[in-house]
Amino acid sequence: MVEENQMGMNGQQGLKGVEVNQVLTGTVTRVDEKQALVDVGYKYDGILPISEVSSLHIEKVADVLSEGQEIQVKVIRIDQGKDEMIVSKRAVDAEKAWGELQKKFESGEVFGVVIADVVKGGLVVDLGVRGFIPASHVERHFVEDFSDYKGKTLSVKVIELDKEKNKVILSHRAVLEEEANKQKQKVLESLEPGSVIEGTVQRLTDFGAFVDVGGVDGLVHISEIAWHHVEKPADVLKEGQKVKVKVLKVDKENERISLSIKATLPGPWEQAADKFKAGDVVKGTVKRLISFGAFIEVAPGVEGLVHISQIANRHIGTPDEVLKEGEEVNVKILDFNPSEERMSLSIREALDEKQKQEVKKEVAAYQVEENAPGSMSVTIADRMGNMSDLLKKFKS
């Protein structure tokens, strides 16, 4: 048993076996609005003022303590004349907290805290001492309203600790970033060039789109979005959209992933194989003029060559005598090899084909007219003359 009549650190005569600054374990016997009484096993209960209950501001003692609860308190003042002993729970909690927080700070330990209050600039937690999570350290993204965070449990790390200034700064964002980095490394290790996976469009820029592939963003360059020319990524994609991507390159050292959406889609020549065949007459657009001919686009990403000899029914010196870039023309497919992405075209034969079709229509119309009632008034000579003209057209 502690000896009687020990002197407290402030020079006061202590109660039986009790000194100022002594830590005692007791039971809460009564809870009032602004104070509580604690039975520490001595002559009378210790008085625990509301200001000594918690490191945080509280409205009433009942918010923290209840009758019958066992707590540890520190004796902070003894008044023999009034038979009064003032104790503090806050002082005991703080002393324990600083030691534990120092260990957590040095080890980088992640631990859970319950948000006690939302204040200007961040969140407050009770660690035995007041802990503060600045707004910029709550999440990885911007949060406009923190009101929903009160009572919520967050995993945090101590990022700043100063006992002299009673300063404890915590960060939830640091925990999230650490988890994201671990996930990133895991994904970087698992991705293989050539593999096709599903991702989500996270962000659109002028030069491409960032796609989330398992917690890591990879870049789809604007040239890899589609087989046709894309002016702006936003014209084709939208944020949140699910897309299939092919992994082109993984740079583990610099943590960069190059992706392609167009590589997962049928190429223009693959699509053209189902659409075109030799002998077809199709519409196209003059894309480029060169000395020996012109390149005509007959479908997005599919161009064929019209040799200069196949441009007109007459001799021309250069293609620009007849054609201009951007002009729409009819072309006949002479040869088509989709596997080698080659197509030979002819404007001249398309013109001949058109003329032949027109002649066939005229012949058919003539035959209908000949067989119509009253057609006997047409002389044999007239018939022969008309037929001769049509045949000349056809042969030409």
CATH 2.40.50.140 fits 191-264, yes or no: yes
The average pLDDT across 370-383 equals: 54
pLDDT of residue 215 exceeding 90: no
Q: What is the pLDDT confidence band of residue 389, given thresholds at 50, 70 and 90? A: low
Six token digits for residue 138: 């709550």
Q: Do the domains 191-264 and 23-92 match in fold?
A: yes
Strand 111-119 to 153-162 pairing: antiparallel
**pLDDT for 107:** 95
Of residues 352, 351, 286, the one with CA closest to residue 319: 286
Q: How far apart are CA 87 and CA 73, in angstroms?
A: 6
Degrees to nearest 5, angle at CA 134 with 131 and 137: 110
Of residues 204, 195, 206, the one with CA closest to residue 257: 195
Q: What is the pLDDT of residues 91-141, one digit of tens each?
A: 898 888 898 999 999 999 999 999 999 999 999 998 988 999 999 999 999
Quote the distance between the C-alpha of residue 175 and its chain's center: 19
Q: What is the pLDDT of residues 57-86, one digit of tens each?
A: 888 999 889 999 999 999 999 887 788 899
Helix H or strand E encompassing 260? strand 256-260
Q: What is the pLDDT of residues 260-291, one digit of tens each?
A: 999 999 888 988 998 999 999 999 999 999 99
**pLDDT for 147:** 92
**Average pLDDT of the chain?**
86
Please give the full DSSP string across 167-195, using - where no structure is assigned. EEEEESHHHHHHHHHHHHHHHHHH--TT-
**pLDDT for 368:** 63
* Percent of the chain predicted with pLDDT > 90: 61
Q: What is the pLDDT of residues 132-167, one digit of tens each?
A: 999 999 999 999 999 999 999 999 999 999 988 989
Q: What is the pLDDT confidence band of residue 54, given thresholds at 50, 70 and 90? A: confident
pLDDT of residue 360 exceeding 70: no
- CB–CB of 113/127 below 8 Å? yes
**pLDDT for 301:** 85
The beta-carbon contacts of 159-164 under 8 Å, at least 24 apart in sequence, are 161/101, 161/102, 161/105, 163/98
Q: Which amino acid is present at 262?
A: K
Q: What is the pLDDT confidence band of residue 4, given thresholds at 50, 70 and 90? A: very low
**Phi and psi dihedrals of 244, rounded to 5?**
-90, 135
Judging by beta carbons within 10 Å of its beta carbon (0-12, 13-18, 19+), is residue 201 exposed, middle or buried?
Answer: buried
Q: What is the pLDDT confidence band of residue 9, given thresholds at 50, 70 and 90? A: very low
Choices 3.40.718.10, 2.60.120.260, 3.20.20.140, 2.40.50.140: CATH for 267-396: 2.40.50.140
Six token digits for residue 379: 């002389």
Listed by start position, the domains of the chain span: 23-92, 108-176, 191-264, 267-396
pLDDT of residue 1 exceeding 50: no
Q: How far apart are CA 366 and CA 178, in angstroms?
A: 85
- CB–CB of 370/383 below 8 Å? yes
pLDDT of residue 33 exceeding 60: yes
* Percent of the chain predicted with pLDDT > 70: 85
pLDDT of residue 324 exceeding 70: yes
Q: What is the pLDDT confidence band of residue 363, given thresholds at 50, 70 and 90? A: low
pLDDT of residue 90 exceeding 60: yes
Six token digits for residue 387: 């037929």
Q: How far apart are CA 185 and CA 182, in angstroms?
A: 5
**pLDDT for 5:** 35
Of residues 263, 316, 310, the one with CA closest to residue 284: 310
Please give the full DSSP string across 309-330, using - where no structure is assigned. GGT-SS--SSGGGT--TT-EEE
User: Which CATH fold would you assign to the domain 23-92?
Assistant: OB fold (Dihydrolipoamide Acetyltransferase, E2P) (2.40.50)
CATH class assigned to 108-176:
mainly beta
Q: What is the pLDDT of residues 220-255, one digit of tens each?
A: 999 999 988 899 999 999 999 999 999 999 998 888
pLDDT of residue 356 exceeding 70: no
**pLDDT for 16:** 55
**pLDDT for 2:** 35
pLDDT of residue 294 exceeding 60: yes
pLDDT of residue 369 exceeding 70: no
